[in-house]
Amino acid sequence: METINVSQSEEMKKGEGSPQKCRRGGSIVLLVSFLFGLFGGILGWWVGPRLASDLSLPLPPIFRDIANQKEKNTSMTLPSAVSSEEALLVDLVEKSTKAVVSVVITKDVPKYRSLFDNPGFPFFFGNPFYEREYDTGETERQTVGEGSGFFVSSNGTIVTNRHVVDEMQADYTVIMSDKKEYSARVLARDPVQDIAILKIEGDNFPALDLGDSDAVKVGQTAVAIGNSLGEFSNTVSRGIVSGLKRNLVAGSGFGASERLSGIIQTDAAINPGNSGGPLLDLSGKVIGVNVAMAQGAQNIGFAIPVNSIKNALKEVKETGRISSPFLGVRYALITPEIQKENNLPFEYGALVVRGQKMTDLAVVPGSPADKAGIVENDIILEIDGIRMDEENQLGDIIGTKRSGDTITLKLWRKGDTKEVKVTLEERK
């Protein structure tokens, strides 16, 4: 606006015609010059390199720079439909979801009928009718829960959580990704770990490969698949392994709780209904079984390491059930505070002690520990070379063994340290 105003002022002083006409004519000349210059520049930029290339002549430096920059920009800006990692994940999900199933729990529950009573109050006090439910003495079939699971063999063997199938009087139905339904029976429930094995009749089912949870590293990619909220089957979430060897007490929300030890933490979203579904690595192998999530927090989920599942599957295959190994001692984990209070020589280990009741003996009579000569006030320092501490508690280590396994205990007793071999037995 300032340039136009200055031109108008000068032209009016000279008296050379209308300022509007002079302004239009000057603009057209400038526009034509600009267009010719722009066209020539573009033509030179486009034709020059190609002409030199066709004639096998060396490019001028300016054209070489422009051509190189153009190739560089082209290689940088060409988008890919999916990156290599995304393609890997898409392929993983397409193959894995076929082996993941929804587990539906149904049972007969009491049938109630609603009746309305009128206590006789006037209408202006509000609704005079009160709803009451009466047990009719009859039952009706209802869905009482849902979870997830996955095939570990083509003959219909499925892994899930024990808490998914803990209803002894319930029926279990497996729904596959193609919506086919199968009646399932519970082969075994692990009495210690939150693991259960199901079986459906049939063959040629898609199965997942089991990985090695001992090789899992914090920070590696993790993919969780399951029946989220009991409504969205084959929901896929992606994250990383956030931690290893976590110990916590998980509750069902109905008063039941259990201790989970040595488990995998992940930030891949795990929701109600995901329980029993697989946690996979990028190769599509199972590294864990989704089991719990932290309430009041975001993206803190947990999975049982797959190596624990391998032991359970092997035992079911050999014996048809999962047994619980038994040592037979009552103990207190030694901490620096306990060491100081009791003047103990170690700040770690499991101190064999009595309970508060007279019947809470330190060593169960006739147990494997009793047979091996373990007595009250012994300190179990190690099991098979693993030191007993907060991360490796005695009960957790025993839980990874099988009935009939022989373990080596490193004991401290009245100033002497020795090794004792113990053969574990099945808990009665």
Please count the other Cβ atoms lying within 10 Å of the Cβ belonging to residue 252. Answer: 11
Catalytic residue among 102, 190, 194, 308: 194
How far out from the chain centre does Cα 25 lie? 73
- CB of 194 closer than 8 Å to CB of 259: no
- Three-state DSSP at 44 gives helix
Which of 132, 143, 159 is CA-nearest to residue 104?
A: 143
Catalytic residue among 275, 308, 323, 367: 275
Q: Which two tokens stand for residue 96?
A: 């894995």
Catalytic residue among 163, 190, 228, 367: 163
Active site residue 214: no
Active site residue 163: yes
Active site residue 190: no
How many Cα atoms within 13 Å fall on the side-chain side of residue 410?
12
Interatomic CA distance for residues 428 and 381, integer angstroms: 26
Interatomic CA distance for residues 314 and 423, integer angstroms: 19
Place of tokens 């076929």: 98
Give ∠ CA 276-277-280 in degrees, rounded to 5.
135
- Three-state DSSP at 316 gives helix
CA of 330: how far to CAs of 29, 254, 336, 376, in Å? 101, 28, 20, 9
- CB of 264 closer than 8 Å to CB of 302: yes
Task: Round the CA-based radius of gyration of the chain to a whole number and report it.
Answer: 37
- CB of 203 closer than 8 Å to CB of 155: yes
Active site residues: 163, 194, 275
